[in-house]
A and B are shown apart, each in its own frame.
Chain A
């Protein structure tokens, strides 16, 4: 094709992606515009805008100690759930990579929790942790570990770790899937060569598996951060952020603000904060991918 022809068709790619571009801008832009509009307005419970009020909503949220607590707890929640998920998923993935009888079944069992809706899983766990007739207390008492039933959900000191634990369990299937994909990309003869050279299993894990799994771990960590950061169902179903607001993370606090206290304005401010944090995590993800590519 001649250079002139190239020039002539330069606009064509833009033209071809224009419909999806316009749609993407609409789908992302409209809610974003609405949230900003709500954040700077005095809004009634039913979404009627009563007037512009500048930074009032921001000031109100920033001065709310529950918001600051929830922000800190969101970070704790994200770090512990994602950290725990990764730490548990690596050995699970390593085991599932091995060729053993019934591996297909084991892989299916590990993936099964994925098919259950998060809120449904949370309800089932809530029953399991019920103090009077839950299966956890019954089992622990049968084993003689507990003398009296433990009121798991009554105190934040026990309720929040329980929620973190459930967060980890439900995140494992997705993470194991990513890691299995990564593991299968490491050629088997590498391990054979290492073994012949006298590497012990822990050495080949530390110096071969882990570095080669690096990019996959990065992806698993960042995607999990984004997902866990916004994870609403577990905490809302089990404790609604209570008792005394001490299991709130940002999304549960936002929901309570908007739908229980009827203040969409400050709730919009909180969702902007959530957006900013998730956006940073996404940017980090893009940067990591760029670097690893």
Chain B
């Protein structure tokens, strides 16, 4: 009997000791950026597990187009993962519903200082950090060197007038000059490039729509006139960004605006294409769009310390450099930015040099509604059913119904 008790006590002690060593599982939803995304996170999870045998990281890769819908369904049903990559512009909705966990109290000393300030800022709301920038990109103009040299702009166009002049020459040779996209996501942003560089803004300081300003009308009228004069590919409403990029990779498009990820695609799919990267063309002021995706932790996670440990690992220079290089994004932490892969890449430097003039999507409710209203307006103008002024005014009225509410 006595022996039995002793044995039992011993077993209990052993069990108690063993408990903390039992694996905790951290689940993370990541968005599909490229074929490399899944393998990257799987490898990082394996490396992390080797160093922290008590923590298992499970990765789930979701297509970007379905990500928000999936999160919405998971969260409504309470089956969401512990961490997820999200578009930073969605963050406000998460914070308002108390779904995202503020990360500051869990951060190791100096953790926050690893990030490049402007990229961390969109993930902070009300002085608290909810989103850590995992992917960042800015936009610049890609141009086909052979086509533009023939058109008399060997260094690419500097202004919108240059773009029109070059596109006219390219058209005379039977090519597509400037690529316009009017299908899928970011149709609104493609219009904002012209809006910003004509001196306009999307929202004013009170978060009301002002993209229908004279600058906005001028910008959209410019796009529409280029379409009407045959200076773009035919029928932009049939082209998503991916489809425009395909035209560009095939050498059938003179100019388009896109992000650094297109460089990786060209290296892989069209290595012989001779192209250059220059700032977004200017009318009155330089501008570009910068965008970050963030990792958030869900408030209902039961393994927050373990999840934070994994985040800490992900944002060390080794994993960061591998990710940013593999996907073709911009560095989001200062240490990775020092890597020669980024400092010695002349093309990538163009994107970095544009950051001082970059516009981020504002943290405001109704941003998706605004994007939708502007997309509809742009499409109706290209289809010829509305004038730029009428379409933008209607879109502004529609956007104002949801903005800031």
A residues at B contact (CB < 8 Å): 44-48, 131-132, 151-156, 240, 242-246, 256, 259-262
Q: Is the interface of A mostly helix, strand, loop or mixed?
A: loop
Interface-located stretch among B122-130, B233-241, B350-358:
B233-241
The answer to whether B234 and A242 have CB atoms under 8 Å apart is: no
Contact: B368 with A154, CB < 8 Å?
no
B351-392 toward A: CB 8 Å interface, digit per residue (1/0)? 000000000000000001100100110011011010000000
Do the beta carbons of B238 and A151 come within 8 Å of each other?
A: yes
**A156→B68 CA distance, assembly (Å):** 27
Residues of B within 8 A of A (CB): 68-69, 72, 75-76, 93-94, 96-97, 99, 182-184, 234-238, 247, 368-369, 372, 375-376, 379-380, 382-383, 385
* CB-CB under 8 A for A261 and B369, given A45-B93, A243-B383: yes
Residue from B75, B236, B383 within 8 A of A244 (CB atoms): B383
Min distance, Cβ B298 to any Cβ of chain A, angstroms: 11
Among B183, B184, B238, which residue has the most Cβ atoms of chain A within 10 A?
B238
Partner of B183, one of A44, A243, A262: A243
Q: A243: which B residues are within 8 A, CB to CB?
A: 182-183, 237, 379, 382-383
Measured CB to CB, the closest approach of chain B to A33, in angstroms, equals 16
Closest Cβ of chain B: how far from A162's Cβ, in Å? 12
Q: Which of B68, B99, B383 contacts A259 (CB 8 A)?
A: B68
Q: Is the CB of B75 within 8 A of A46?
A: yes
Q: Once the chains bind, are B383 and A47 in contact (CB under 8 Å)?
A: no
Contacts of B236 in A (CB 8 A): 154
A244 contact set on B, CB distance < 8 A: 237, 376, 379-380, 383, 385
Q: Cβ of B75 and Cβ of A262 under 8 Å apart?
A: no
Contact: B237 with A154, CB < 8 Å?
yes
A151 in contact with B380 (CB, 8 Å): no
B97 with A151: CB separation less than 8 A? no
Select one of B72, B183, B238, B375 contacting A46, CB under 8 A: B72
For A48, the chain B residues whose CB sits under 8 A away are 97
**B111 smallest CB distance to A (angstroms):** 28
Contact B93 A154 (CB under 8 A): no
The answer to whether A260 touches B75 (Cβ under 8 A) is: no
> Shortest Cβ distance from A261 into chain B, in angstroms?
6
Contact assessment for B75 and A47 in the assembled complex, using a CB-CB cutoff below 8 Å: yes
- Name 28 interchain pairs, CB-CB below 8 A, sorted by A: A44-B96, A45-B97, A46-B72, A46-B75, A46-B99, A47-B75, A47-B76, A48-B97, A131-B234, A132-B247, A151-B234, A151-B235, A153-B238, A154-B234, A154-B236, A155-B237, A240-B184, A242-B183, A242-B379, A243-B237, A243-B379, A244-B237, A244-B376, A244-B380, A244-B383, A260-B68, A261-B368, A261-B372
Bound-state Cα–Cα, A57 to B238, Å: 33
